[in-house]
Structures are given as C-alpha cells and as structure tokens.
Structure 1
Amino acid sequence: MSTEELTPEQKQKLKEASRDGRLSFRKFGEHQLRREFKDIAIEKCRDHINAFGKCAQEQGLLVVFNCRQFNKDLNACMAIHNSNEAFEKYKQENEEALMKKIPGRKQDSNV
C-alpha cells in the first residue's frame, strides 16, 4: 500500500508513529543543556587536560605508565564537574533556559 492510497487518518497515525523514534522536545532540550554542561566541565578542567596532553606528547607510547597521575587528576576533575548530581543542579538553575530550548513551548506570562 503506497502513501497515496492511505486515508488522512492513516497518514496521521504513520506520522505520529515516526515521531516516537525521534527525541521528544523535552529530551532535545535536555540534550542541548547536557552538551552545554559538558562544555562548561571541560573548561573548568582545562588545566588538567592541557597537563595530560603535554605529558602524553612528551612520553609517546609510555603515556600509560608515565602520565598515570595526570590521568587520575583529569578523571577526578571531570567526575566532579560532570557528575549526574552536578547536572541535576545545573538543570534546576537553568530550567528557564531549558524551556526556551524546547521548540514550540510557550512561556507562561503573568499579564
């Protein structure tokens, strides 16, 4: 059965079914917020990233052994700034921005 043979109701059902596979508007907004949060965490850990990168360039194949402490420091920093608890706090602080990122969502106005 081709799409030309479908009734408008059947076309609507197909359209709605295809939407289920995509990100919902709320999840899209949260995904965008998570991406911003991750970028902020990377900026906060920039010194650790640079130190590990410099060590890795200097050590070459021995990076696994000789840069272990830099790697631990980097992972500890990212664990602090990129944890689920920190994201939930960030999400609560930026709830208004999250609502703006959800397409088609109208803000409640106190008029």
Structure 2
Amino acid sequence: MALDPADQHLRHVEKDVLIPKIMREKARERCSEHVQDFTKCCQDSGILMVVKCRKENSALKDCLTAHHKDPAFYEECKAEYLREREEFRRTGIPNKKRLQKLSSSM
C-alpha cells in the first residue's frame, strides 16, 4: 500500500516526539549487544559501575548516536510511523491494541 504524498505532512509532536520514540526503540534493538554488555557490567560492578563500565557505556552511546544521526534510519522510522498512522486512521484501532488482539486470537 503506497502512502499518499499529500498525507505525509507531520505535526510538530510527530516529528519531535513520536518518530524519535520509534528511533530510540529500534536503535535499542539494533544495539542490543551493547545494551546487554553495559547491563551486565553494571550488574557485576555495583556502585563502582560509573568507573568500571565506561568502555561499555561509551560503546553503547556510540552505537545509539550513530543510528540517531543516520538520515536513512530517520526516513525508515518515519515511513514506519506513517504506515502505523494510516492504519490507525483506517481502522481506528491503535497499533498496540491491534497487536494485542492479533496475539490473543492465535
């Protein structure tokens, strides 16, 4: 289903809040190895994590920042948001509830 170019106008909240939220979630998935390394280091280090986990924290931040600065990644997340918005406008059911209904019917 192709998106109507006239329907791709984004409101301020969509550009500055909703799409960045999708970007954070997808970047966290794509950087999951770094997230796991940092989490494990923090769990193993206790209160010394600030000092002991600098390398893992730095690697995680670098990975997340690379995704956030990638224009192609932004466009991918924007397209995903527009598809979800179009589906919501068509059905009136938010994506979260639609996914819950699908999983409960299986």
TM-score scaled to structure 2, two decimals? 0.57
Alignment match, 1:27: 12
State the shift of 1:99 in Å.
Answer: 7.8
What is the 5 A alignment of 1:1-111? 26-30=11-15, 31-83=17-69, 85=71, 88-90=74-76, 94=79, 97-98=81-82, 101=85
Question: C-alpha offsets along residues 30-80 of structure 1, whole Å, 9 cap, x if unaligned?
Answer: 232221121111101111011101000101111111111101101110110
CA distance in structure 2 between the partners assigned to 1:66 and 1:38 by the alignment: 25
How many residue pairs end up in the alignment? 79
AA of the residue aligned to 2:76: Y
8 Å CA contact 1:55, 1:67 repeated in 2:
yes
CA distance in structure 2 between the partners assigned to 1:99 and 1:44 by the alignment: 21
TM-score scaled to structure 1, two decimals? 0.55
State the shift of 1:89 in Å.
Answer: 3.7
CA distance in structure 2 between the partners assigned to 1:61 and 1:38 by the alignment: 27
Structure 2 residue runs of 5 or longer lacking an equivalent are 1-9, 90-106
CA distance in structure 2 between the partners assigned to 1:52 and 1:42 by the alignment: 12
CA distance in structure 2 between the partners assigned to 1:98 and 1:86 by the alignment: 15
Alignment match, 1:5: none
CA RMSD of aligned residues (A): 3.0
Higher helix share: 2
8 Å CA contact 1:29, 1:101 repeated in 2:
no
SS at match of 1:64: helix
